[in-house]
Each structure stands twice: as structure tokens, then as C-alpha cells.
Amino acid sequence: AGRAGAPSAHGERRAELSRRLRALSEAEKQRQSRLLSRKVIGHSKYQESQRIAVFLSMQDEVQTEEIIKDMFQRGKECFIPQYKPKSNHMDMVKLTSAEEISSLPLTSWKIHQPSDNDVREEALSVGGLDLILMPGLGFDKSGNRLGRGKGYYDTYLERCMHHPKGKPYTIALAFKEQICDSVPVTENDISIDEILYEDS
């Protein structure tokens, strides 16, 4: 606010998506999250991946707890975001168990994440990643993603490309209310391999 002229396409689209998400009931978010968890767990890319990064959900995101529990049951390696405040830097650090999540400190966004002095294996420091399960605010069917404006995932995917293993497969998880005809993109945005939502 306070800037002259029309708000950017990104700003308008973000505001509209935030409104749509606020209108979703808890029960509906849970229903779609359960359905998407099953889609992920049944997905061939998920089944063949050993090292997987997954987001810990905010209030208005697809809930990922079931997927994380399944990863540990299958003996996969699970990595979760560790965001550096006041920057667009994020690491993907190793989680030791699904139960451990609730004991991690909460960030200002109410997301559990290991504290800065909690030194853990970073996914790219060793074997890279096979798959990243990504959040976002909005998506279109061409694989374009509208994030929350900080650029954490685009910057991280850029780093993945420099890893000997190369870019992991990327799957975004979305409520069907987050699917748009098109989302505005900039040249730094990296498109997603696949977007899962109800009906996809």
C-alpha cells in the first residue's frame, strides 16, 4: 500500500487467493488434504523416491502429516524447510521422526522448524533430493506457481540444479480453490513438474 498506480497482477491475484483460502472450512481443508495424501502415497514418483523434501503446513495449506508418517513407515529420508529470516535462503534439513515435529520451535509464521543452532544434515550437502513436495498460494494447470513472494523455493531449486544429482522432481499440493486459469510469472520462477489437486 501507499504506492501510486494500480496494484500489481501478483498482488491482486494473491489477495484473491487469500480470500478463497479463508473461505475454506477446516473440515473441507481436511477432506482435501486426506485425498491428496492418498494421491501422493500412491504416486509412482513418490514410491520410487528415497530422499524427499516436504513442507510443514501452515493453516491455509494442504496438510502433510499423513505423508510424513508414511515416509517414515517406508524408511524414506525426510527433509523439511529451515527458513532463514529476512532473506530468501532456505535449507532442507533432515527430520529424524514424524513425532519430532511437534517438539520443534515455532516460527513467526507458526510453522515448526529446527532452530538456527540445531545443526542437521542438509539435503544438498550429501545425496541431493529425489522429490520435493511444494506448497504455494496459487497454481495454473501449466505448472506455474505463485508463491508467497519470498522466492524461497525458486532459490532452492536453483541450488538443486547445481547439485550433481540435478533437479529433483517437483510436485505441488493444492486445494482445488488454488487452481487459476493463469498465474503471473517472472523469469526467475521455476515451473513445477506436476500439481496435484482434487480432480487432477
Q: Which residues make up each annotated binding site for ATP? A: 145-153
Phi first, then psi, for residue 111 (nearest 5°) are: -110, 140
- Reported in sequence order, the residue ranges of 56-180 that DSSP labels E, i.e. its strands, are 77-83, 90-94, 131-134, 138-140, 145-146, 169-173, 179-180
Per the annotation, where are the binding residues for substrate? 56, 61
Q: How far is CA 127 from the centre of its chain?
A: 20
State how far the Cα of 189 lies from the Cα of 154, in Å rounded to an integer: 6
Q: What DSSP element (H or E) covers 135?
A: none
Of 192, 174, 185, the C-alpha closest to 138 is: 174
Phi, psi of 14 (to 5 degrees): -60, -40
Instruction: List, as residue ranges, the binding site.
Output: 56, 61, 145-153
